Amino acid sequence: MAERAYSGPMRVFSGVQPSGSLHLGNYLGALAKWVEMQKSYDCIFCVVDLHAITVSQDPKRLADQTREIAAAYIAAGVDPERSIIYPQSAVLAHVELGWILNCVARMGWLERMTQFKDKAGKDRERASVGLFDYPVLQAADILAYRATHVPTGEDQKQHLELARDIADRFNREFDIPNFFPLPEPMTTGPGARVMSLKDGSKKMSKSDPSEASRINLLDSNDEIVRKIRRATTDSEPLPHVPEGLAGRPEASNLIAIYSALAGVSEAEVLNAFGGRGFGEFKPALAELAVQKLGPISDEMRRLMADRAELDRVLSRGAGRAREIADPIMAEVRQAVGFWRP
């Protein structure tokens, strides 16, 4: 007999770690999409500081990094009245459910996680237990709110698959069909994958040692212009149609960035720039990038200067998050059979 489907409300959950500064890839791949999603869904956008400490962080800077990520969410257009913005460590449900789900997830499932293998590298023995356990905490993030949809990039697909396996196993083990929804990935559409400005085969990343490889949300207009001018390209003119970008990863990347920032298709961009060289295209791209990103970094700086206001937003967000998670956690405790007076 087919199981009845989960019938709870649709809810979106996503998060970014407060480690390192956000860049154009985070903006186009995540924040800009969240801004659209909040129009149609109830959204929870977390700053995942518990995840950040799976590798060493400077305790003197962590709280400010958390504020900076929250400022970026808001500056990008996430509305803190509509969506919930808060720091993960402020809501203890993540930790409590994380532990319970540790007892549901299997070692073998975690051993298969490629991100751990990449991040731990050869020195697996020295990686924190938290880094190994990272995907279980991620499952707890999502399930503590019974979130149904999770916007994330390609690199998080495997973690989301694991969250589904954990939810399903919990539901079976405690014999409560649909206790947790099986969270669905949300396809993030075009512009999701912004590549390095120095190497079109690598993702734009905050861990890339080359500053020139990425445009940070807090870069000045001059820095944006300079980085685009120095971006690696081939020497051919731009093609007239998207098919002509095949085998030209750097050209593809710049066209994809233009298209995402301008909100027009790549075909339209090439319609306008086909046949022209990068000497003409790059200044146009730089101008567009400054026009779109300048106001976001100005707003980020303004918000970060008003720390009291940011802290009020985060406290309020944490309170709203707890209101959702607390009753779910009460059901979890009951399902597991914990003592209750």
Catalytic residues: 119, 203, 206
In terms of CB distance, is 186 or 212 closer to ligand TRP?
Answer: 186
In terms of CB distance, is 186 or 267 closer to ligand TRP?
Answer: 186
* Minimum distance from residue 142 beta carbon to ligand TRP (Å): 5
* Minimum distance from residue 150 beta carbon to ligand TRP (Å): 5
Q: Is 81 helix (H, G, I), strand (E, B) or coil?
A: coil
CA dist 27 and 86 (Å) reads: 18
CA dist 334 and 341 (Å) reads: 12
Q: Is 42 helix (H, G, I), strand (E, B) or coil?
A: strand
In terms of CB distance, is 15 or 25 closer to ligand TRP?
Answer: 15
DSSP string, 23-38: BHHHIIIIIHHHHHHT
Find residue 15's DSSP bridge partners.
Answer: 46
* Minimum distance from residue 37 beta carbon to ligand TRP (Å): 13
* Minimum distance from residue 202 beta carbon to ligand TRP (Å): 17
Q: Residues interacting with ligand TRP, by CB under 6 A?
A: 13-15, 17, 48, 51, 138, 141-142, 150, 152, 156
Is there a contact between 218 and 297 (Cβ–Cβ < 8 Å)? yes
In terms of CB distance, is 138 or 259 closer to ligand TRP?
Answer: 138
* Minimum distance from residue 68 beta carbon to ligand TRP (Å): 16
DSSP string, 152-206: --GGGHHHHHHHHHHHHHHHHHTT-TTSS--PEEE---TT--PBPSS-TTSB--T
* Minimum distance from residue 46 beta carbon to ligand TRP (Å): 7
Q: Which of 94, 101, 92 is nearest to 170 (CA)?
A: 101
Each residue of 50-64: b (16+ CB within 10 Å) or e? bbbbbeeeeeeebbe
In terms of CB distance, is 54 or 233 closer to ligand TRP?
Answer: 54
As given in the structure block, the two tokens for residue 88 are: 């993960």
Q: Inter-axis angle of helices 129-143 and 93-102, to 10 degrees?
A: 110
In terms of CB distance, is 13 or 170 closer to ligand TRP?
Answer: 13
Is there a contact between 81 and 38 (Cβ–Cβ < 8 Å)? no
Query: Which stretches does DSSP call E strand in 48-177?
Result: 84-87, 149-151
